[in-house]
Amino acid sequence: MKNEKTLTPKLVKKLWIAFIFLIVLMGASYIFITGYLTLNYNEAITQRINANVAEHVIQEKFQNDAPFLEDGSVNKALFGDLMHDMMAVNRGIEIYLLNNAGDILYSVVLEHNDNEPMKSVSLEPINKYIASNGQEFILGDDPLNPNEQNIFSAAPFSIDGHEGYIYIIVAGKQLALISDNLFGSYFTKLSIGAILLTMLFSALIGVLSIWFLTKNLRLITQTVRKFQEGDLDIRIENPEESDIEVVALSFNKMADSIVENMEKIKSVDNLRRELIANVSHDLRTPLAILKGYIETLQIKKDSLTEHQKDEYLQITHANIDKLSDLINQLFEYSKLEAEQVTPIKEPFSITELSHDLIAKFRLLAEQKQLHLELDNPEENYMVYADIGLVERALQNLIENAIKYTEPHGKVTLSLVKMGKQIEINITDTGNGIPINDQPFIFDRYKQVDKTTKKQGLGLGLAIVKKIMDLHDTTIVVLSKPYEGSSFIFKLPAYQLQ
Ligand code: ADP
């Protein structure tokens, strides 16, 4: 169970980096949104609470005393009084007396700063505010801080032909300071809390989602590792249900073809081993015979009659022929097996080739008292194939037919046109092939049981089979024991224009 990691540290690292980035991004946006909304919320509340302050000032203070004296100047005493009230309640408030154009006529400010105060303020937010009855959250000019906007309360007045506004900055410097301080500490707590909570939940969700997302990946990695460690039967179960279906299916297919190829290599390897074993066995017999006769000739050369010597020499000769035949077959088969032979296809007359072969084997057939003939010899059929290889295949088949047919039997070679193909049939009236042996005759050399081997190396039909493969055709055997055998294959007909 060593090295059980299913995901590479690199992948996990990448996923985590992506996740931390996401968490930080989420935390930052959370803080930003909360901060922004909280600030607005605070200001809106302060503004709403102080909505009627300006109105009250007008109602309370201007009822008995006019804000302007008879000479048109500002009633400073009245505003001085107002200042005393403010000092007792809230030093942060700033009160401004505005004319109709928004010019500041008088101001009551307890907390000053170093800025040059504004001479007039914009009336637009003031009118908007008055129109909404103090219900809308609107920021107006802050005369003490020319570049800033602040919450305010405002109300219009019209007394003794004087018109204007009372404009009150409700969250003056002090309020801003307090609010900043308080907000700062709450905000820090909120931010830390929010980030920690976000990180905690995100981390939880992260671990879970990485686990879920990579579940299939881990399964595939595990399966691949087991396969690599030698469990060739292992496959990804239900690959079509996997999140990464393509990978799962491809792995299964790849594993199948690897196993298939390994089986093929194994079987070819086995065939080779059996071939070598059988070949050495088959070569040993004629060699032993040769050795025996040559030794006898050497030892008994004086006591043997001329006739005996002749006979021995004939046997030696026959065995040398057999040996060279075996070696030729072996050479030919190994060349075909190693796929070193490429068929050179050309049109030729299969009828003529058949005539030639019949003529070649006639003597052998007559020696065995067999009738060898070509069916419908008048028809001239042309095929498109490698003439040398087809001749070799036919030769092996005719040779076998003669070899395995008893005297007075018959061997027939027939050619029949079937559509775009010519069917070639070599039929004999021999012993036939036992049903059980029929599936193996094309690779008979691999049979372990040597007793079933009659004569020859068993390479003749294997060579025929290879030649058929090279022509993309197949050969079939129809045989009934004691009745005879037929070997049938087809070649593409060549149409004369
Ligand atoms: P061999 O050198 O043994 O003849 P082949 O590959 O040519 O090898 O044939 C394989 C085996 O198939 C033969 O040993 C024989 O048992 C069987 N066989 C082939 N042709 C015939 C046939 N025409 N009639 C009966 N048996 C046949």
- C-beta 431 within 6 A of ligand 1: yes
Per-residue model confidence (pLDDT) at position 387: 96
Q: Cβ–Cβ contacts within 10 Å for residue 120, how many?
A: 15
- Note the pLDDT of residue 447: 46
Check: CB of residue 68 under 8 Å from CB of residue 74: yes
CB 477 within 8 A of CB 438: yes
**Tokens 């042996």 identify what position?**
437
What are the residue ranges in the chain where pLDDT is below 50? 1-3, 447-450, 452-454
Report which of 386, 404, 376 is spatially closest to residue 472, judged by C-alpha positions.
386
Six-digit token string for 450: 């040597």
Q: Residues 142, 171: contact at Cβ < 8 Å?
A: no
Contact residues for 374 (Cβ-Cβ < 8 A; gap 6+): 351, 354, 355, 358, 412, 413, 414, 415
Q: Which residues pair with 156 in a beta bridge?
A: 165
pLDDT of residue 86: 72
Atom of ligand 1 at shortest distance to CA of 457? Answer: 2
In order of 286, 336, 394, the CA distances from 323 in angstroms are 7, 20, 22
Cβ 400 under 6 angstroms from ligand 1: yes
Whose Cα sits closest to atom 7 in ligand 1? 460
Residue 243, sorted as left (phi over 0), alpha (psi -120 to 50) or beta, turns out to be: alpha
Q: Where do the H-state alpha helices sit in 383-446?
A: 387-403
Is there a contact between 471 and 386 (Cβ–Cβ < 8 Å)? yes
Q: Is the minimum distance from the CB of 143 to ligand 1 under 6 angstroms?
A: no
And the tokens for 258? 């690897």
Ligand 1 atom closest to residue 487's alpha carbon, by position in its atom list: 23
Ligand 1: which atom is nearest the Cα of residue 484?
24
CB distance 460 to ligand 1 below 6 Å = yes
- Inter-residue contact 154 to 166 (CB < 8 Å): yes
Regarding the beta carbon of 398 and ligand 1, being less than 6 Å apart is answered no
**CA angle 427–432–438, rounded 5-degree value:** 100
Question: Pseudo-torsion of CA 332, 335, 337, 341, nearest 10°?
Answer: -110
DSSP-assigned letter for residue 442: G
Say which DSSP state 68 is in: B
340 HSE (CA, 13 A, CB side): 7
| Token couple for 290 | 């040769």
Q: Closest residue (by CA) to atom 11 of ligand 1?
A: 441
Dihedral over Cα of 50, 55, 58, 64: its sign? negative
Strand partners, 191: none
CA–CA gap between residue 334 and residue 90 (Å, rounded): 112
Nearest to 455 by CA among 292, 291, 286: 286
Distance CA 195, CA 37 (A): 17
Give residue 449's pLDDT: 45
Q: Please give the DSSP secondary-structure letter assigned to residue 477.
A: E
What is the distance in A from the centroid of ligand 1 to the CA of 391? 18
- Phi then psi for 342, rounded to 5 degrees? -110, 125
In eight-state DSSP terms, residue 278 is: H
| Ligand 1 mutation target, pool 406, 441, 449, most atoms within 8 A of CB | 441
Which mutation among 322, 323, 444, 451 tests ligand 1's pocket best, with the greatest number of atoms within 8 A of CB?
A: 444
Q: Does the beta carbon of 433 sit less than 6 angstroms from any atom of ligand 1?
A: yes
Quote the pLDDT of residue 445: 65
| H-only helix segments in 122-172 | 123-131
H or E element in which residue 407 lies: none
Q: How far apart are the first and last CA of the chain?
A: 73
Output Rg (C-alpha) for the chain, integer angstroms.
Answer: 56
Index of the ligand 1 atom closest to the CA of residue 428: 23
Protein residue with least CA distance to atom 1, ligand 1: 458
pLDDT confidence of residue 390: 97
- Quote the pTM value: 0.53
Beta bridge partners of 427: 412, 486
Q: Exposed (0-12), middle (13-18) or buried (19+): which is 219, by Cβ within 10 Å?
A: middle
Atom of ligand 1 nearest to the CA of 442: 6
C-beta 464 within 6 A of ligand 1: no
Quote the pLDDT of residue 339. 77
Cβ(437)–Cβ(310) below 8 Å: no
pLDDT on residue 268: 80
Beta bridge partners of 68: 74
Per DSSP, helices labelled H in 53-172 are 53-61, 76-89, 123-131
Which residue lies with its CA nearest to atom 13 of ligand 1?
A: 458
Task: Confirm or reject: Cβ of 458 under 6 Å from ligand 1.
Answer: yes
